[in-house]
Structure 1
Amino acid sequence: MSVYKDPRSPYYSFDFQHAGNRFHGSTKCTTRREAEKFEALEREKAKALVKATRRAKASLAIDDVADRLWTHSARYDSEPKATETNLARLVEYFGPSKQVTDIDHKAAKDLVAWRRGHRVSRRGKRTKEEERALPLVSNATVNRSATKVLQRLFTFAKAEGAVFENEPKWGELILPEPEERVRELKIEEADALDEAMRADYGPFFDFVRASGMRLKECVTLRWSEVDFGTRQIVRFGKGARRVVFPITPAVREILFPLQGQHPEFVFTYVAIYGNKRLGRVRGQRYPLTYTGAKTAWQRLRASSGLADFRFHDFRHDFGTKLLRDSGNLKLVQKALNHRDIKSTLRYAHVLDEDVAEAVERLAESRKKSRSKLREVG
């Protein structure tokens, strides 16, 4: 057996070769017998790794797999920066040389526990006490940013030919998520928002409420996607799907006056302060950014006193009101660009009153029919 004791360490080390590859490291064992058992397990792992690597015909180090996944498809995600951050987090957690074939259920479970201990991030400097006061990330965030990202790495590696003998049980690792709530904007809340609104941000938020589009879709709207002649906005939404949104009279009233403010982007803001580093001149207009829109929303929500309402709830508000007005789930599905109507069904509760009225009409109709039968009898 190739275990030996380094005089500078209390532990035995191992060092062997298999199929032209060298494997070495500390056994973390203080007796030769335990060290030899450890080395035997490492030899079995080495055989499995070489076998899997030959089938995959590429390195199975997590850093390399993540890099190939990024080049192959991840960089084309709807939010590539978030994907890049999530992949980098996994590489940092496991270490760049960690073989994905060595990540078993326990290792994945430990990852989930580690990620659950993180707190949500907020912009700006904070004291340690303020940082500790921030809430922990949600189960949904853990699922999307850790578990499902790791599962995606496994799926990609398997498509390349890798074989996993101890793949994590993904169904057991996915944390339960509460059903997404549907929140409507009340009339008094809308009035409070309008009163607290900065004039240069007004058109943007009016469009958000009138279109039901996602934050990123609104911020990045370009004039090349707006056609007043055909009365359509044509662009690619989540999942690179082609989305056509009608320019209604209300939407036209919002967008038409904005022409000429910027040659490319529809929505802009006025710089209140100059900033040499960013090239901002006080009083000049600049395209609205994703981060800037989120910051503006947080300030608007605070100054208006609006509670328990997220930016995404504008989309829920749009879907709910549209369904209540039309009674057509398929129409709402198309308007919100939902791939699966199951996503649209979350708004179905607004039809409860219509169902109740229909049931009542049916009952009344049966009563009348019975009365007529009695009269005839």
Structure 2
Amino acid sequence: MTVYKPKASPYYHFDYQYRGVRYHGSTNCKSKRDAERFERDHRTEVATGKKGKPSVTLDEGIGIYWDAKGKFDRNAKVTEYQLGNVLRLIGPKTLLQDIGDIEVARMVALRRIEPSFPNRRIKRGEVRPAVSAATVNRETELLRRAHRFLAKKYKIADDPIEWGSHLLKEPKERVREASPEEEAALFAVLTERYPDMADLVEFALLSGARRTAVVKLLWSKVDQRRGTASVHTKGDVWHEFPLTDRMKEIIANRPRVGPFVFTYVCERPAPARADRPRRIKGERYPFSKEGWNRKWYRALDEAGITDFRFHDLRHTAASRITRASNLKVTQKLLGHTRIETTARYAHVGDDDIRRAMDAVQQSRNSPELVGEKSTETRRKPYIRRIK
């Protein structure tokens, strides 16, 4: 027999394997003899098929799901991170058959109030935003997939959890695109006052790449001969995209100092800090992730542009590429794994719909089509002769 008494429990527990499946848990017996009898009966039920719920912890189940499914996801690192959050919030020792609506609701509530980007430095007085509803929903949906996979594998019974009731309401997609007039006003300010930033912003607008990806663009990841560049993006992957003639020109005109393509000239010296060395006036340094925010928002203010974020450059690029081609091309450029994500970036307005309708109308009234219709109308009808 394999019964034992944990230090923190007054009851004996059992732990054994049958045909490669582990069964363990509390016998709810304080007597060792009673516990051994309980385990013997449990083994008999399992061997005869009457016991259909093996005691599998969430920790074990997540490991099984990872080996069978998770590590083969395209964004496996994101999946691994999300599974870690699920395991941490529900508890690694929680049995699969004990996970119900209460446990899922608790996980959602705890995750919702956690701060996003916990390792990021914040300025004095700045409030760290909470985890977004979309992030919580993605992790809840991942738990649903893992739970259903494991429930079927171990015959834990039907899935009684009402998963839809645990999904948070996500805010309506942000629709903000730079107009041609706003673009011209912005670059007029940037070119005059912040020429180094002007190149960075224009490259972001043409490529649709995220801010961090553009800021950290390496010379070693630019292939001028092939006309491509690669940026490090979400999921710890390298995303490659083609370069237009203007993007090649921007890169060719950048001073090649250090490993990064985009650098700026230091305007005033600064002492060394924990996250960077000393700054010397007149020397070039790579852009930090957020250190130039003040100049960016000052340029927007001088250009008369309101309610515009740097990430809206990515939305602008996506919308323009979609109008000029299709959503699949935009998905390839942005490096999205799901086209549904791309659809949230590529905005369609009434003017776009109207232009598409006008194009269809003009094609219907084209001379070629009208000529074919008129020819058809002049044809004599076919009359069947009856003998």
TM-score (norm 2): 0.63
Residue 279 (structure 2) pairs with residue 282 (structure 1):
yes
Corresponding residue of 2:219? 223
The CA distance in 2 between the partners of 1:296 and 1:73, in whole Å, is 38
Aligned pairs (5 A) from 1:145-224: 146-151=139-144, 154=147, 162-165=154-157, 167=159, 168-178=161-171, 180-190=173-183, 191-192=185-186, 195=189, 198-224=194-220
Q: How far apart in 2 are the matches of 1:76 and 1:286?
A: 38
Aligned-partner residue type, residue 335 of structure 1: L
CA distance in 1, matches of 2:104, 2:168: 13
Q: Do structure 1's residue 245 and structure 2's residue 241 form an aligned pair?
A: yes
User: Equivalents in 1 of 2:72, 2:308: separation in Å?
Assistant: 31
In structure 2, what is the Cα distance between the partners aligned to 1:180 and 1:244?
27
Evaluate the alpha carbon distance shift between residue 76 and residue 207 of structure 1 in structure 2; reply closer, same or farther with a 3 A threshold. Answer: farther
Q: String of CA shifts for 1:165-223, please: whole Å, max 9, x gaps.
A: 46434344333435534421124543247636744433322211111123343344322
Q: Is the 8 A contact 2:52 2:155 kept in 1?
A: no
How has the CA–CA distance of structure 1 residues 355 and 189 changed in structure 2, closer, same or farther, with 3 Å as cutoff? closer
Aligned to 2:136: 142
Please report how far the alpha carbon of residue 19 of structure 1 lies from its aligned counterpart in structure 2 after TM superposition: 3.8
Alpha-carbon distance in structure 1 between the residues aligned to 2:337 and 2:75 = 14
Answering whether residue 264 of structure 2 is matched by residue 265 of structure 1, we say: no
Partner residue of 1:23 out of 18, 26, 29: 26
The residue aligned with 1:357 is 358
Which amino acid is the alignment partner of residue 321 of structure 1?
Answer: R
Q: How much has 1:295 moved relative to structure 2?
A: 5.2
Q: CA deviation at 1:255?
A: 0.9
Identity rate of aligned residues, in percent? 28
1:286 CA displacement? 4.5
Unaligned runs of 5+ in 2: 1-8, 17-23, 29-37, 379-387
CA offsets per residue over residues 302-359 of structure 1, 9 Å max, x none?
66245433333212201222333x2544443433344455555563735413223124
Which amino acid in 1 is paired with 2:261? V
- Please tell me whether the aligned partners of residues 297 and 311 of structure 1 are also in contact (alpha carbons under 8 angstroms): no
Q: Is the 8 A contact 2:222 2:228 kept in 1?
A: yes
Q: Is the 8 A contact 1:183 1:316 kept in 2?
A: yes
Q: Distance in 1 between matches of 2:11 and 2:327?
A: 65
Which structure has greater helix proportion? 1
CA contact (8 A) 2:177 2:312 kept: yes
Question: 2:58, 2:91 within 8 Å by CA — same for their partners in 1?
Answer: no
Q: Retained in 2: the 8 A contact 1:115–1:142?
A: yes
Whole-Å separation in 2 of the counterparts to 1:99 and 1:65? 11
Secondary structure at 1:315's aligned position in 2?
Answer: helix
Classify the secondary structure of the residue corresponding to 1:280: coil
- Tell me how far apart the structure 2 counterparts of residues 343 and 311 of structure 1 sit (CA, whole Å): 18
**How far did residue 257 of structure 1 move?**
2.5
CA distance in 2: counterparts of 1:293 and 1:87, whole angstroms: 28
Secondary structure at the aligned position of 1:258 is classed as coil
Could you say what secondary structure the match of 2:310 adopts?
A: coil
- Counterpart amino acid of residue 168 in structure 2: L
User: 1:257, 1:280 → 2: CA distance?
Assistant: 26
Alignment of 1:1-377 (within 5 A): 15-19=11-15, 23=26, 51-53=54-56, 60-62=57-59, 65=62, 69=66, 80=77, 86-87=82-83, 89-118=85-114, 123-124=121-122, 131=127, 137-144=131-138, 146-151=139-144, 154=147, 162-165=154-157, 167=159, 168-178=161-171, 180-190=173-183, 191-192=185-186, 195=189, 198-234=194-230, 244-262=240-258, 264-269=259-264, 273-283=270-280, 284-288=283-287, 292-294=288-290, 296-297=292-293, 300-301=296-297, 304-305=300-301, 306-324=305-323, 326-339=324-337, 341-344=339-342, 347=346, 349=348, 351-361=352-362
Look up the match of 1:29.
none
SS of the residue aligned with 2:93?
A: coil
Q: Which residue of 2 aligns with 1:6?
A: none
Answer with 1 or 2: which has the greater Rg: 2
2-structure distance, mates of 1:216, 1:74: 26
Q: Which moved more, 1:106-115 or 1:172-181?
A: 172-181
Q: CA deviation at 1:105?
A: 2.3
Q: Runs of 5+ in structure 1 lacking a partner?
A: 1-12, 26-39, 54-59
Distance 1:236 1:135 in 2: 24
CA deviation after TM superposition for structure 1 residue 108, in Å: 0.3
- Equivalent-residue separation in structure 1 for 2:356 and 2:61 (angstroms): 55
Aligned equivalents of 2:123 and 2:158: distance in 1?
Answer: 43
Structure having greater relative contact order (Cα 8 Å, sep ≥ 6): 1
Counterpart CA distance in 1 for 2:167 and 2:317 is: 30
